[in-house]
């Protein structure tokens, strides 16, 4: 039995060997397949040099151009008013922001004004006798003197005798003492220097305000300022008054601004120059993030292409007789996605989109819309 099994295995092995040998001999005479050349379809464009506006992108946050930090110069109780001192509250120019109780100080001012009035009234008999030519002038001053109003300016003294007489009676020193007190009395009321909005309130009605204490912040909402930092290479191109296009992050709103100031010094750390752009719009808010496009100059006889079409050696691909070649180009400005080139001959056929693995001598076929329609 064992001999029969071994004999069967030997016969099967011989049969398979013969069949394998015949297949090798048959494949030896088959022709080798010819590798088909792959011709890539590319998008092309014909060069036509023209004028390109160089636009520098920048971004930043809006800040109110006019901002005032409110501080108290006197001490007292914050008096309530019809308008609440709260963030977001609007005020008009000259409107009271904060009123501090000045009843006690007002009384001392009135006392000083009364002493000045009495001092002038006391010298009137002497003026009538010794200086009759100036008596009427000082009489008119007394008649116009009103304790409830601001102290009027002293009459002008026309002679040295009159000056010596009035000064010797401490009239001038008393007058300036009253003026000083009135100036300080005015500081018990903090008024809006311009129309705007309160952005920060650090005190409330009824609280005790101390001298030197910060009360809040007040801004002008009519004009905002955008601060952007640009490369020092554009320092000579930035001019005050240039129009700037501004957009929000969502690209849904567009604003128009103007370059108001250009810093005269370059930041030594970043090698950038700071530019300030004024923008007006009722919908703007402080802290809003905007993107700016500054039109700095125009370049003539140039083309603008995608940055990925320019090689590290400053060369671009051109199509000549369905074969890729390279020509040198002179880049003059780079943006995030585009590059502006000079010295590219008119009429040159260049790639419109990059081709993966492209090299000089590569066979290509320009894309044609008619071919695509025929395939369909």
**Tens-place pLDDT, residues 200-216:** 999 999 999 999 999 99
**Domain with 337 in it: what CATH number?**
2.40.420
Rg over CA atoms, the chain:
44
- Which is it for strands 330-334 and 272-279: parallel, antiparallel or unpaired? unpaired
Establish if 274 belongs to a structural domain: yes
Which residues constitute the domain of residue 12? 1-30
Considering its fold, how many domains does the chain have in total?
5
Instruction: Give the C-alpha separation, 199 to 216, whole Å.
Output: 7
220: its two tokens: 């002008």
Residue 151: Cβ within 10 Å count: 18
Which residue, of 276, 299, 322, is where some domain finishes? 299
Average pLDDT over the chain, rounded to an integer: 87
Task: Classify residue 195 as exposed, middle or buried by CB count within 10 Å of its CB (0-12, 13-18, 19+).
Answer: middle
* Sequence-distant (≥ 6) Cβ neighbours of residue 76 within 8 angstroms: 100, 101, 102, 105, 188, 208, 209
Task: Classify residue 68 as exposed, middle or buried by CB count within 10 Å of its CB (0-12, 13-18, 19+).
Answer: middle
Render 29-97 in DSSP notation, one character per residue. TSPPPPPPPP-EEE-EEE---EEEEEEEEEEEEEEESSEEEEE-SS-EEB---SS---TT-EE-TT-EE
369: its two tokens: 């819309």
Instruction: Give the C-alpha separation, 103 to 80, whole Å.
Output: 14
Establish if 341 belongs to a structural domain: yes
**Domain with 246 in it: what CATH number?**
2.40.30.170
- % the chain with pLDDT above 90: 45
Q: At what angle do helices 132-144 and 103-130 cross, to 10 degrees?
A: 160
Do 129 and 167 lie in one domain? The reply is: yes
How many angstroms separate the Cα of 108 from the Cα of each of 48, 115, 144, 177, 179?
Answer: 84, 11, 21, 11, 12
Do 117 and 158 lie in one domain? The reply is: yes
The pLDDT score that the predictor gives to residue 195 is 95
pLDDT tier, 178 (very low <50, low <70, confident <90, very high otherwise): very high
Q: Residues 308, 309, 315, 321: what is their CA dihedral angle, to the nearest 10 degrees? A: 160
Gap between the terminal Cα atoms of the chain: 70
Assign 130 to helix, strand or coil: helix
The pLDDT score that the predictor gives to residue 372 is 47
pLDDT tier, 374 (very low <50, low <70, confident <90, very high otherwise): very low
Do 269 and 143 lie in one domain? The reply is: no
Q: Which residue, among 295, 186, 309, has the nearest Cα to 238 in the 3D structure?
A: 295
Which residue, of 164, 186, 208, is where some domain finishes? 186
Do 74 and 170 lie in one domain? The reply is: no
- pLDDT mean over 299-317: 89
Residue 275: Cβ within 10 Å count: 26
Do 209 and 240 lie in one domain? The reply is: no
Do 343 and 277 lie in one domain? The reply is: no
Do 246 and 318 lie in one domain? The reply is: no
Establish if 36 belongs to a structural domain: no
Establish if 110 belongs to a structural domain: yes
Do 92 and 111 lie in one domain? The reply is: no
Establish if 91 belongs to a structural domain: yes
Per-position b or e across 199-234, b if 16+ CB within 10 A of its CB: bebebeeeeebeeeeebbbbbbbeebbbebebeeeb
Is the pLDDT reported for residue 370 higher than 70? no
- pLDDT mean over 323-343: 87
Q: How confident is the model over 8-32, as pLDDT tens digits?
A: 776 776 766 767 666 766 665 555 5
The pLDDT score that the predictor gives to residue 268 is 86
Per-position b or e across 319-343, b if 16+ CB within 10 A of its CB: beeeebeeeebebebeeeeebbbee
Do 71 and 215 lie in one domain? The reply is: yes
Establish if 35 belongs to a structural domain: no
**Domain with 204 in it: what CATH number?**
2.40.50.100
Do 160 and 257 lie in one domain? The reply is: no
Do 234 and 262 lie in one domain? The reply is: yes
Which residue, of 265, 299, 333, is where some domain finishes? 299
Establish if 37 belongs to a structural domain: no
Is the pLDDT reported for residue 152 higher than 80? yes
Instruction: Give the C-alpha separation, 110 to 113, whole Å.
Output: 5
Do 176 and 273 lie in one domain? The reply is: no
């Amino acid at each position: 039995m064992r001999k029969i099994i071994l004999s069967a295995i030997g016969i099967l092995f011989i049969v398979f060997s013969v069949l394998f040998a015949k297949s090798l001999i048959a494949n030896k005479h088959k022709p080798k397949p010819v590798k088909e050349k792959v011709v890539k379809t590319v998008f092309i464009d014909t060069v036509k040099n023209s004028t390109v506006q160089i636009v520098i992108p920048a971004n930043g946050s809006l800040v109110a151009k006019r901002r005032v930090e409110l501080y108290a110069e006197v001490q007292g109780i914050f008096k309530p008013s019809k308008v609440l001192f709260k963030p977001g509250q609007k005020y008009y120019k000259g409107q009271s922001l904060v009123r501090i109780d000045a009843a006690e100080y007002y009384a001392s001012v009135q006392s000083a004004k009364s002493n000045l009035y009495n001092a002038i009234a006391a010298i009137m008999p002497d003026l009538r006798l010794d200086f009759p030519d100036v008596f009427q002038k000082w009489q008119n001053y007394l008649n116009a003197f009103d304790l409830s109003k601001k102290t009027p300016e002293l009459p002008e003294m026309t002679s040295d005798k009159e000056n010596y007489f009035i000064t010797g009676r401490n009239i001038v020193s008393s007058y300036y003492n009253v003026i000083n007190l009135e100036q300080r009395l005015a500081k018990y009321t903090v008024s809006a220097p311009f129309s705007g909005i309160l952005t920060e309130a650090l005190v409330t009605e009824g609280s005790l305000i101390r001298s030197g204490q910060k009360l809040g912040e007040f801004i002008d909402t009519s004009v905002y300022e955008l601060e952007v930092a640009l490369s020092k290479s554009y320092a000579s191109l930035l001019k005050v008054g240039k129009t700037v296009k501004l957009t929000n992050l969502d690209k849904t709103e567009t604003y128009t601004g103007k370059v108001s100031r250009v810093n005269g010094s370059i930041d030594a750390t970043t090698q950038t120059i700071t530019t300030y752009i004024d923008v007006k719009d009722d919908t703007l808010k402080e802290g809003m993030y905007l993107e700016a496009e500054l039109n700095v100059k125009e370049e003539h006889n140039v083309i603008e292409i995608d940055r990925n079409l320019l090689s590290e050696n400053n060369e671009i691909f051109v199509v000549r007789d369905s074969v890729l070649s390279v020509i040198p180009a002179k880049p003059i400005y780079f943006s995030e996605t585009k590059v502006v080139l000079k010295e590219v001959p008119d009429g040159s056929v260049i790639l419109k989109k990059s081709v993966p693995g492209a090299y000089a001598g590569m066979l290509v076929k320009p894309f044609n819309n008619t071919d695509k329609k025929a395939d369909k």
